[in-house]
Amino acid sequence: MPKTLNVVDAHAHLGGCCVFDNNTTEEELVFRMEESGIDATIVQPYPGAKEAAKVHDRIAEMCAKHPGRFFGMVSLSPHGDHDAYRREVERCVKDLDFVGLKLHTIGHGVDPLSKDGDLVFATGHDLGIPVMVHTGPGIPFALPALCIPAARKYPGLKIILAHAGWSIFSAEAQVAASVCGNLYLETSWCLGEHIRWMISTIGPERVMLGADLPSNVPVELAKYKALNLEPDVYAQVIGGTAIEVFNLSSFVRVPAL
């Protein structure tokens, strides 16, 4: 149980997924963290969770079992009753201490420009938590630029572009972040040189490590290590940015960077 936070994986899932046909266990998450030296992981349900609320409860139990090592992110479809959606997000944030909210463009079929897409951004904004949006595969909804209107409508809301365009749309993610200071880039599945370019143009304080799948944890960390970044820049992108964006220092002691 780490009492300092240095390395943070901002994107992981727990449980089963009927959309992408996979399943991730607590044991896999813990094993990969220990193997790669990840201090903390932010965990969300898969978009294909049969009952998102039950997975939220499982994530909360895992957070309680491993204090300071796991943090929760809410993920559920916004296509049902809007009041019920807000109630579940509020429950996770206020009762379970979750630190973020996911808008899954492909897994939940959500257009960021739609009314239901706006519900996610508005809920995150109202509760004061960042919203992570899946980008990359699943266009047109997953195009990074579709988050620009929400970033402008809610200037106080931090929006993280998950996968930062997944390499094929990484240039668009970089452009979106370059025109909106409240857009952040989580770089799972991107090429190493794309990550270097994002860091050098957008700045390390808006780029963060994420892995998405357990087997990808050592891979994503290796990409950052291979870039031979300056030590302060490296510390920022592998943990500092996520700590700041998700306000993790309010939960655990963080060393000065």
- Residues engaged in binding Zn ion (CB under 5 A): 212
| Amino acid type, 193 | E
The minimum distance between CB 232 and Zn ion, in angstroms, equals 28
Q: Angle 208-63-165 (CA atoms, 0-180°, nearest 5)?
A: 25
Query: Which CB atom, from 103 or from 229, has the smaller least distance to Zn ion?
Result: 103
Query: Which CB atom, from 212 or from 220, has the smaller least distance to Zn ion?
Result: 212
The minimum distance between CB 111 and Zn ion, in angstroms, equals 18
**Beta carbons of 184 and 241 less than 8 angstroms apart:** yes
**Strand, coil or helix: 46:** coil
Query: Which CB atom, from 39 or from 212, has the smaller least distance to Zn ion?
Result: 212
The minimum distance between CB 152 and Zn ion, in angstroms, equals 25
The minimum distance between CB 142 and Zn ion, in angstroms, equals 12
Tokens of 182: 């409240």
162 Rama sector, left if φ>0, alpha if ψ -120 to 50, beta otherwise: beta
The minimum distance between CB 13 and Zn ion, in angstroms, equals 6
Query: Which CB atom, from 160 or from 229, has the smaller least distance to Zn ion?
Result: 160
Query: Which CB atom, from 129 or from 211, has the smaller least distance to Zn ion?
Result: 211
Query: Which strands form 8-17's sheet, in the order they lie side by side?
Result: 22-24, 8-17, 40-45, 70-74, 100-103, 131-134, 159-162, 183-186, 207-208
**Beta carbons of 71 and 129 less than 8 angstroms apart:** no
